[in-house]
Amino acid sequence: MRSRSQAKPFASVVAGVALLAGTYVFCASRGGVGSRIAGLNQQADSSVESLGALLSLPSSALQRVDIGKVNLLCAQGLPGADGFDVNGCLAKLDEVAARVRSETARHLYRFQAKPDEFENSEGFFRMVMLAVVLYEDFSVRYNPDRISTPGTLDPNDHFFADSRDLFIHGLLGERSSSPSPSPALNPLPRHSQAAAGQLSTFNYPHGTCSSLPVLQVAVGRRMGYPLKLVTTKGHLFVRWEGAQERFNIEAAGNGVNRFADDYYRHWPLEVAPAEEAAEGYLKSLTPPEELAVFLSIRGMCLREAGRLPEAAEAFAAAARLAPACRGYKVMLASLQSRPGPGAPPVKPPAEETAANQKSPNL
């Protein structure tokens, strides 16, 4: 899931989307929906302290486990994940959510005064604020070393070598210094013009499209936002899926945009209808499917490290959780057919060669 250098302005939305006063009830102050969700997550999380314990849960119980914790447990034991503190990262998520809540409440008057500057959508305004706080207050950035264009994808780019680029612990850990100056992300009202800039140091929280959307969902759900993860070929993005409106959010690159589903059938890579159906692209993921995505990323990281039996275990678990996804089965079969030490190499199947460019169902 690589960022592409291609950038587009805000997509146009269907005219006439109305937001009635009082329709949205979010946790803009202490208590409310966000705190109730956090309480449920804490109850479900109390007995889940390892990936093994997570995988032993029935699928129905996964919806009660914080997506942040699910993601962090899938990173344990990977290259770049030595010694990170799961509970410390979860506390950081709570800190970020508190800051987003405070700043959103402080700036809500801007939306109420000029809703057209946020496409007449309170949900979109709230997602813009979330992205701005992550960028400006917590210095979250896309890793410049992982930026590529669709025409320059390299299956040997070692995208999956460092778990800090793939899982949210790379966005929540302490760093030794702040990012060098770059253009401010100021969405009020010029949110469509935000730019990440060129950073000269990596001593800041950086990730990729494997981790940034997960961070946004983990923070947003703490506030009661109806957020889903969605996959397309080579990319992971966020969807707001509420009772009043549904829209996709792209906030991992330049600015904050929202695009129709069809956009992701052509960007970052072309997706054929049969492929969309076979891989489950463009559908909102269920909690078991979210876990399967994280396990597939774990599997690719283990594969990159040469830990093939463990990689096969990760893909086997992903295939059990999301049996309709073809990519997990392809990668599992490939890993299981790998020759032992000293045996001649076997050319990978065409499906696996394509999967090298992405996490298998992404």
**For 239, phi and psi rounded to 5 degrees?**
-125, 130
Q: What are the domain boundaries of the chain? A: 3-282
Alpha-carbon distance of 117 to 27, in angstroms, equals 22
127: which residues sit within 8 A by CB, 6+ positions away?
A: 216, 220, 225, 238, 240, 249, 251, 256
Each residue's pLDDT tens digit, 114-162: 999 999 999 999 999 999 999 999 999 888 777 765 555 556 668 899 9
Contact between 200 and 180 under an 8 Å Cβ cutoff? The reply is: yes
Each residue's pLDDT tens digit, 28-75: 333 344 444 444 444 456 679 999 999 999 999 999 999 999 999 999
249: which residues sit within 8 A by CB, 6+ positions away?
A: 124, 127, 216, 237, 238, 239, 240, 256, 257, 258
Residue 257: helix, strand or coil by DSSP?
strand
**8 has pLDDT over 50:** no
DSSP letter string, 141-194? EE-GGGEE-GGG--TTS-TTS-GGGTSTHHHHS--SSPPPP------TTTGGG-
